[in-house]
Amino acid sequence: MNVNILYFASLREQLGTAQETLTTEAATVGALLEELCSRGPQWQQALCDNPHLQMAVDQTVAHRDTSLRDGAEVAFFPPVTGG
């Protein structure tokens, strides 16, 4: 299946990309994260070693066990802070 992945804020800067379309067999967000983190240390640090990573699937807050579907939009972003 194909998923559209968006990287926001500092993640975009760390990974050097704002978005990509990926063909994957991942059935969940967690499996997708494992696939992305296998790309190397930069990806591991930005996504898998980040305890505050926020995720959304089709603009709805998601968790590692959230299911994916063909054509899903998956977004990763750091926690939002405000003042």
CB 32 within 8 A of CB 66: no
Residue 21 covered by a domain? yes
Predicted local confidence at residue 41, as pLDDT: 96
Of the candidates 3, 1, 5, the one whose C-alpha atom is nearest the C-alpha of residue 75 is: 5
The CATH number of residue 44's host domain is 3.10.20.30
Residue 10 covered by a domain? yes
Range of the domain at 62: 2-77
Residue 23 covered by a domain? yes
Computed over every residue of the chain, the mean pLDDT equals 94
d(CA 1, CA 83): 40
End-to-end Cα spacing for the chain: 40
Q: List, for residues 41-74, the tens digit of each pLDDT value.
A: 999 999 999 889 999 999 999 999 999 999 999 9
Residue 83 covered by a domain? no
Tell me what the mean pLDDT of segment 34-44 comes to.
97
SS3 content of the chain, % helix, strand, coil (to 5): 30, 30, 40
Tell me what the mean pLDDT of segment 8-20 comes to.
95
Number of structural domains, the chain? Answer: 1
Query: How does residue 40 score in pLDDT terms, banded at 50, 70 and 90?
Result: very high
Residue 35 covered by a domain? yes
State pTM to two decimals: 0.92
d(CA 55, CA 74): 7
Residue 82 covered by a domain? no
- Residue 82 in this model has a pLDDT that exceeds 70: no
Residue 57 covered by a domain? yes
